[in-house]
Chains A and B, each alone.
Chain A
Amino acid sequence: MTDGSLAALVALGAFHGVNPAMGWLFAVARGFQERSRSLVLQSLPAIAAGHAASVGAVAILIALTRSVVATQALAIGGGAVLVGFGLWRLLSRRHFRWVGMRISLPQLAGWSFLMSSAHGAGLMLLPVLTSSGTAPAGHDHGLAASSGSAVSTGVFVTAVHTLSMFAVAGAIALVVYEIVGLTVLRRAWFNLDRLWAAALITAGTLTLLTAF
């Protein structure tokens, strides 16, 4: 994994963390509802866990696929999927709703998993995963060894990304809860959905370009 890929992982984590729809807003809402900062703090790990599960599933899937098929085929297939998904996000006006407002921490983690998956959070990491230097080390020691290595790559990528997401989301949640208040939403809640879709399409295009 190169420094560039690592930076990209961290940057994407921050990007996901900033998005209110990815969870920090829910943490703040729960805190305000009960006038409890500890509820904000308890909510954040659950949200991060759901995000990690969603991203991790994609990362491990890609890493495993990469250990058995040619990188180029993966990049072309994955890139195409990513561009298609991004276009769907750009054009779709669906509003997902899986949960109510009164939910437990495991339900919150489940919500975060669904929200991240539906937004293609893990897919956005595709260019990093397909272009991070050579294929996982040890691919000439047989499938089992390379699978193990692929999984560890996936776990590493997920951990770095999620830590960054967690740090950014946590910082924003606390600043909004403690200092600025939600009035800021009216001015500062930019339409990240479109930016998000653009990021997906860009990531897909990048992946496709690197394939050739």
Chain B
Amino acid sequence: MALWTPDPTFYASPRDAASAPAEKLAYVAAFDRAAEKPDAIAVLDVDPDSASYGSVVGWTDLPFLGDELHHFGWNACSSALCPGSPHPHVERRYLIVPGLRSSRVYVIDTKDDPAAPKIVKVLEPDELAKRAGYSRPHTVHCGPEGLYLTALGGANGEDGPGGIALLDHASFDVLGRWEVDRGPQYFAYDAWWHIAHDVLVTSEWGTPSMVEDGVVAELLLGRKYGHSLNFFDLRKRKHVQTVDLGDEHQMVLELRPAHDPTKLYGFAGVVVNVEDLSASVWLWHRDGDSWAAQKVITIPAEPADASSLPPVIQPFGAVPPLVTDIDLSVDDQWLYVSCWGTGELKRYNVSDPFNPVEAGSVRIGGIVNRAPHPTAPDQPLAGGPQMVEISRDGKRVYITNSLYGSWDDQFFPDGVGAWMAKLDSTPDTFTFDERFFPHGDAFRGLRPHQTRLQGGDASSDSYCYP
């Protein structure tokens, strides 16, 4: 049922959103690598005044096995206030949760009991295949005329191209393929937009055959994974420009456009440079009449004894940082960069986006370091900071440790474990919250991936007004 006044979690501008009240619950996608137990959405208590703060207080088990939950998103967000097609009286209440391996999409209602969300709809893989020609659904964004769902792979026997499917806002039915003209774009991963400029950006990982059984060394060294950004006209759904970052920059993943709708720049993370194993963050921006990108952050590999390395990187004698996620605060001032390989979360001041300045770093996990959490200083941790999510006010940063089932196993062959941590971030400090460290059995043997915060977070909403 529609509301009488706008959903209180919708904000006209990022400035307004930064004053949003603190979240009390966080939703975390958790999956069973063995596909013997159902994957689940774990509900975390993130209210510091609550007795169960920092623990899992609810579970929504899925009815099938082997979905491999990964990323997910809200059915509606602040873009509902945009002036061209306003629909501000819908509710932010459903989580749209794709199974990256199964290609199923779940719709989960958080309204009646936010700590025990209920599954209200399941889209079977053949609906996505038949109507949109895609599989392996990944990123979800609440868009102007529907839900945008990126997908890594093709369907009906095709490995690619991957792309974007459009879902109906209300029924969640798959409406079809989003692209009218995809140009040379073949690989897919993330997509987001400059909504006030009618621009959509996509990034590139690889097709299902290139990623599902782990990273393929020959393909990586042969520079066959994605290494470009693609720009589309959001209204006409047509490819406009490809910006190639250079084929040594393998796997362009998370896209974080400026939240300020008057700005035309954004950050993209690159997992690895095959020439020196470094990772990088790129800034895309307008250059005259076209798009350009430049490397603004380089994070070097850390030398390591080959005997301490898993087989996949043993020949290199170094640990690659593997930047697998980045996240930009709602005020566009701070960029957080996950170095999953080296076990480090870096924070940059990006008030000048062309010249990020490192402003803090914490160590946890890592292929070699196995750095512990301060709450359990004797317990070495596997995995590393992976998915990062920032609260709307920018003060709290949540991280989880699993990347993707088969890749976890390659880089942490003795087990990736399961943990989640939280950092408190002020302009001058950047430290672990020692009261927040759900780990091990807290996740029932499942691996935690993306976090979504109740009411929205730094990577869920887009705004039409500055």
With both beta carbons as reference points, the residue of chain B lying nearest to A95 in the complex is identified as B87
Which residue of B82, B144, B196, B465 has the most chain A CB atoms within 10 A of its CB atom? B465
A26 to B, closest residue via Cβ: B83
Contacts known (A101-B198, A193-B89); A185 close to B145, Cβ less than 8 A:
no
Contact check: which of A32, A189, A190 meets B465 at CB < 8 Å? A32
Residues of chain B lying within 8 A (CB to CB) of residue A29: 82-83, 196, 464-465
User: Which of B81, B89, B261 sits near A191, CB closer than 8 Å?
Assistant: B89
Of the candidates A32, A188, A193, the one having the most CB atoms from chain B within 10 angstroms of its own CB is A32
Q: How far is the CA of A26 from the CA of B83 in the complex (A)?
A: 5
> Could you say which residues of chain A place their CB within 8 Å of the CB of B196?
29, 33, 101-102
Assess whether B13 is interfacial by the CB under 8 Å rule: yes
Are A33 and B262 closer than 8 Å at their CB atoms? yes
> Shortest CB–CB separation between residue A21 and chain B, in angstroms?
5
Q: Are A97 and B83 in contact (CB under 8 A)?
A: no
B307 within 8 A of A: no
Q: List residues of chain A with CB within 8 A of the CB of B261.
A: 33
Chain B contacts of A32 at CB under 8 A?
262, 465-466
Measured between beta carbons, the chain A residues less than 8 angstroms from B244 are none
By a CB distance below 8 angstroms, the chain B residues around A111 are 84
Query: Judging by beta carbons under 8 Å apart, are B6 and A186 in contact?
Result: yes
Known: A33-B466, A193-B89. A183 touches B84 (CB 8 A): no
The answer for the CA separation of A189 and B88 in the assembled complex, in Å, is: 8
* Chain A: interface residue total (CB-CB under 8 A): 30
Query: Which of B2, B89, B145, B262 is the one whose CB lies under 8 Å from A97?
Result: B145
Given contacts A95-B145, A97-B85, A194-B2, contact A185 B235 (CB under 8 A): no
Q: Does B16 contact A (CB under 8 A)?
A: yes
Give chain A interface residues in 78-118, CB to chain B under 8 Å.
93, 95-102, 111
Q: Mark B70-89, 1 if CB is under 8 A from A, else 0.
A: 00000000000111111111
B-chain residues with CB within 8 Å of residue A26 when the two chains form the complex: 83-84
Cβ of B11 under 8 Å from chain A: yes
Contact check, B195 vs A95: say whether CB atoms are below 8 A apart: no
Cα distance A35–B195 in the bound complex, in angstroms: 17
The answer to whether B10 has its CB under 8 Å from any CB of chain A is: yes
Q: Check B82–A101 contact: CB distance below 8 A.
A: yes
Given contacts A32-B465, A101-B196, contact A95 B169 (CB under 8 A): yes
- Whether A100 touches B84, Cβ cut-off 8 Å, given contacts A93-B170, A183-B12, is yes
Expressed in whole angstroms, the minimum distance between the Cβ of A200 and any Cβ of chain B is 16
Complex Cα gap A95–B3 (Å): 15
In the docked arrangement, what's the CA distance between A100 and B169, Å?
A: 18
List residues of chain A with CB within 8 A of the CB of B198. Answer: 100-102
Contact check, A186 vs B234: say whether CB atoms are below 8 A apart: no
Whether B121 is near chain A, meaning CB under 8 Å from some CB there, is: no
Assess the B465–A182 pair: CB atoms within 8 A: yes
Specify which chain B residues have a CB less than 8 angstroms from the CB of A194 in the assembled complex: 2, 4
Establish whether residues A99 and B235, one from each chain, have CB atoms under 8 Å apart when the complex forms: yes
B246 within 8 A of A: no
A98, B85: Cα distance in complex, Å? 8
Q: Is the CB of A191 within 8 A of B83?
A: no
B156 part of interface (Cβ distance < 8 Å) = no
Min distance, Cβ B132 to any Cβ of chain A, angstroms: 18
B234–A191 CB distance below 8 A: no
- Bound-state Cα–Cα, A111 to B195, Å: 18
> Nearest Cβ distance between residue B361 and chain A, in whole angstroms?
36
CA of A15 to CA of B335, assembled, Å? 45
Interface status of B21 (Cβ within 8 A of chain A): no
List B126-172 residues whose CB lies under 8 Å from chain A.
144-146, 169-170
**Nearest 3 Cβ contacts at the A-B interface:** A100-B235, A100-B198, A97-B145
30 residue pairs A–B, Cβ–Cβ below 8 Å:
A20-B86, A21-B86, A26-B83, A28-B83, A29-B83, A33-B262, A93-B169, A95-B85, A95-B87, A97-B84, A97-B145, A101-B82, A101-B84, A102-B196, A102-B198, A182-B12, A182-B13, A183-B12, A185-B6, A186-B5, A186-B10, A186-B11, A186-B16, A188-B5, A189-B5, A189-B81, A189-B88, A191-B2, A191-B5, A194-B4
B residues near A, CB below 8 A? 2-6, 8, 10-13, 16, 81-89, 144-146, 169-170, 195-198, 234-235, 261-262, 464-466
Known: A95-B87, A95-B144, A96-B85. 4 other contacts (CB 8 A): A28-B465, A29-B82, A29-B465, A101-B195
